[in-house]
């Protein structure tokens, strides 16, 4: 480049977008946008090339699924088919949902969808015994009195099947090829443990429901950090995988530590693993030298609190256990500077924008 452009080539940088580290896939499309073609582009951009990369991913533990009623959740465990609970005719269930997810969210629609899904899958015949149309079926259209298995059902949001119709249709489902009805009129079935073959003590609601796979995959979220960038203001580690950040230890996590009496673990998490600037460098030095971990110091968040109180014209003094005033020094600690220099640690407070910035 220098042979063509001369000294100006020194100012040129390769800013090409690359596939992020650890990513892979197959290019499935390329689109070119140009200002000459009247495409809507950001200011200063004359041409834009967009490359679409796709990848197939097998579903795994930790991936997120959702129904159509706000009933979302992550996969806790994927079992072999033979270990899943099964119906009396040997049909295994695909997904087990925790019942505690229904009353708390109050999205009963998922239960109704499960029942209607089973009715549509099994098919139904209201007048199967020849006794005529029952009272609960008076409002049903003539074509809805019977339907074969695998029928498609659509029920309006506010004018759909009522409770008595749902119960009646569940009791009118067609038997399977062995002449048995797997699900009772209450929408529940007897399930058997796939590992032991023993029946479960109580009947379980079984049916069919639409389940969607969300774009929250565990491979994109899993992340670990040893050392990395800190926030300029709070001196605490940044958050998020893109910033090579740490795991947030929030208020409720602190309560859990307090409940278990893990005082030293909590102190470590809130000081040397967070915003005790002097302490974390001293700990790093102690680990490198194989020495004992020193006592944590005063975290930066406490100093920020003092400054905020002073901004309200409140004179706040820090006292030791014997009542003596402790002076919080403004400048950098000499021990901190010395330890950082010995370990080759850069104490500049510039926040790294990406993981690539950290590596370079």
Q: For residues 239 and 225, is the Cβ–Cβ distance under 8 A?
A: no
| Helix-, strand-, coil-residue percentages of the chain, each rounded to 5 | 30, 15, 55
What pLDDT does 149 receive?
93
Return all residues near 197 (Cβ < 8 A) that are at least 6 apart. Answer: none
User: The tokens 């295994």 sit on which residue?
Assistant: 92
3-state secondary structure of 280: helix
Burial 146-171 (b: 16+ CB within 10 A, else e): ebeeeeeeeeeeeeebeeebbbbbbb
Q: What are 81-105's pLDDT values in tens digits?
A: 999 999 999 999 999 999 998 998 9
Give per-residue burial for 205-222: e unless 16+ CB within 10 Å, then b: bbbbbeeeeeeeeeeeee
Q: What is the dihedral of CA 91, 96, 100, 102, to 10 degrees?
A: -70
Query: Could you give the angle at the alpha carbon of 65 between the alpha carbons of 62 and 66, nearest 5°?
Result: 150
- Per-residue pLDDT of 103-133, as tens digits, reads 989 999 999 999 999 999 999 999 877 778 8
Helical H segments across 2-85, by residue range: 2-5
Task: Find where tokens 């008595």 sit.
Answer: 164
The pTM score is 0.73
Span 200-214, mean pLDDT? 96
Compute the average pLDDT of residues 9-24.
78
Chain mean pLDDT for the chain: 88
Question: What is d(CA 167, CA 170) in angstroms, rounded to the nearest whole number?
Answer: 5
User: What is the C-alpha to C-alpha distance for residues 88 and 175, in angstroms, rounded to an integer?
Assistant: 13
293: CB partners within 8 A, 6+ apart: 272, 283, 286, 287
Q: Where do the domains of the chain lie, and which CATH numbers do they carry?
A: 2-54 (no CATH), 58-222 (2.40.270.10), 225-359 (3.90.1800)
Dist. CA 150–CA 85, nearest whole Å: 23
pLDDT at 265 over 50: yes
Q: How far apart are CA 1 and CA 106, in angstroms?
A: 65
- The token pair that represents 10 in the structure block: 């020194």
- Give the CB-side neighbour count of residue 113, counting CA atoms within 13 A: 15
pLDDT in tens, 166-205: 999 999 999 988 889 999 999 999 999 999 999 999 999 9
pLDDT in tens, 274-329: 999 999 999 999 999 999 999 998 899 998 899 999 999 999 888 888 888 888 76
Alpha helix (H) ranges present in 95-235? 109-122, 163-171, 218-221
Q: What is the pLDDT of residue 187?
A: 93
**H/E run at residue 265:** helix 263-270
Structure tokens at 24: 């892979």
| 3-class secondary-structure state, position 185 | coil
């Amino acid at each position: 480049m220098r042979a063509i452009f001369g000294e100006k080539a020194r100012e040129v940088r390769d800013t090409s977008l690359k596939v992020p580290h650890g990513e892979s896939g197959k290019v499935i499309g390329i689109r070119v946008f140009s200002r000459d073609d009247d495409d809507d582009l950001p200011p200063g951009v004359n041409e834009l090339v967009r490359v679409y990369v796709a990848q197939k991913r097998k579903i795994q533990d930790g991936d997120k699924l959702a129904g159509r009623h706000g009933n979302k959740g992550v996969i806790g465990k994927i079992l072999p088919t033979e270990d899943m609970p099964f119906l009396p005719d040997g049909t295994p269930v695909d997904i087990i949902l925790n019942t505690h997810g229904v009353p708390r969210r109050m999205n009963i629609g998922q239960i109704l969808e499960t029942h209607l899904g089973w009715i549509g899958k099994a098919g139904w015949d209201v007048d199967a015994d020849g006794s005529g149309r029952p009272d609960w079926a008076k409002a049903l259209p003539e074509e809805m009195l019977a339907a074969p298995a695998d029928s498609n059902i659509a029920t309006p949001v506010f004018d759909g099947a009522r409770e008595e119709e749902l119960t009646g249709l569940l009791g009118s489902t067609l038997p399977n090829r062995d002449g048995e009805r797997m699900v009772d009129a209450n929408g529940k079935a007897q399930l058997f443990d796939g590992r032991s073959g023993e029946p479960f003590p109580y009947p379980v609601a079984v049916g069919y429901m639409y389940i969607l796979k969300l774009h929250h995959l565990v491979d994109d979220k899993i992340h670990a950090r040893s050392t990395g960038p800190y926030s300029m203001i709070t001196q605490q580690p940044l958050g998020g995988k893109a910033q090579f950040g740490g795991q947030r230890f929030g208020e409720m996590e602190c309560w859990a530590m307090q409940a278990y009496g893990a005082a030293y673990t909590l102190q470590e998490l809130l000081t040397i693993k967070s915003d005790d600037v002097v302490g974390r460098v001293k700990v790093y030095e102690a680990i490198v030298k194989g020495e004992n971990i020193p006592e944590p110091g005063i975290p930066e968040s406490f100093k920020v609190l003092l400054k905020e109180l002073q901004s309200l014209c409140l004179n706040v003094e820090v006292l030791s256990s014997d009542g003596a005033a402790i002076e919080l020094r403004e400048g950098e600690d000499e021990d901190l500077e010395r330890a950082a220099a010995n370990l080759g640690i850069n104490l500049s407070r510039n926040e790294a924008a990406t993981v690539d910035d950290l590596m370079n």
